[in-house]
Amino acid sequence: EVQLVESGGGLVKPGSSLKLSCVASGFTFSSYGMHWIRQAPKKGLEWIALIYYDSSNKYYADSVKGRFTISRDNSKNTLYLEMNSLRSEDTAMYYCAKGRLADYWGQGVMVTVSS
Amino acid sequence: DIVMTQSPSSLAVSAGDKVTMSCKSSQSLLSSEYQGNYLSWFQQKPGQSPKLLISLASTRETGVPDRFIGSGSGTDFTLTISSVQAEDLAVYYCEQYYSYPLTFGSGTKLEIK
């Protein structure tokens, strides 16, 4: 059974940093690209980043480019999202999702940016 | 960036009704190389993570009931639920994966009367 478990969220002040993790199981993690997708409270879905299976390519939404970094450790079956210079508009539930089609999603982790 | 426009934003129907919702993209999602439309539909039930229903505009994921039907090509796409059930209460999102950045529509909220 595919499982994706996010962690690392919390309440932080504007300008601070946070690193999210997503631990994968139930599939060959090293064979799939992975996404981070977020959802602000009561809002729609916003794709923010993708990393290829071998980390050879990374893509970002303009809203996070230069502030967020997606990475992965295939030996640990773990996806990361390093978030710097956080803003109030980054407040959202953050999901990791598997594969180009995002066919499996985690339960999400909440990030709140507030003074 | 490709803009995805969904309509209506919400609709209320009775169980057993047929429902159609629209998704339009600002550019064609048809890949001439692979002869497929790079368009997915997701279902997000209250309090849950989104779930992939349909990819390549019309290919249902394993386990998705056949009452969910995706159609369309190019820039115009439709999700039809042939006979709505109470458990279909959700927000439905379309998403293009033709080019980066990937983009979602704003969603159609389905309510059951």
User: Using one digit for the tens of pLDDT, what is the confidence trace for B59-107?
Assistant: 999 999 999 999 999 999 999 999 999 999 999 999 999 999 999 999 9
- Confidence bin at B34 (pLDDT 50/70/90): confident
Confidence of residue B44 (pLDDT cuts 50, 70, 90): very high
Q: How far apart are CA B64 and CA B67, in angstroms?
A: 8
Q: A46 and B50: CB-CB below 8 Å?
A: no
Size of interface A-B (CB pairs under 8 A): 50
SS3 state at B85:
coil
pLDDT in tens, A53-93: 999 999 999 999 999 999 999 999 999 999 999 999 999 99
Q: Which residues in B have their CB inside 8 Å of a CB on A?
A: 1, 40, 42, 44, 49-52, 55, 61, 91, 93, 95, 97, 100-107
Q: Which of A85, A97, A88, A86 is nearest to A45 (CA)?
A: A97
List, edge to edge, every strand of the sheet that includes A18-25.
A3-7, A18-25, A78-83, A68-73
AA identity, residue B61: E
Task: For chain A, list residues whose CB is within 8 angstroms of any CB belonging to chain B.
Answer: 35, 44-47, 50, 59-62, 95, 100-108
CA distance A54 to A12: 31
User: What is the pLDDT at residue B53?
Assistant: 98
Token pair 């709140």: residue:
A112
Q: Which pLDDT band, with edges at 50, 70 and 90, does A3 fall under?
A: very high
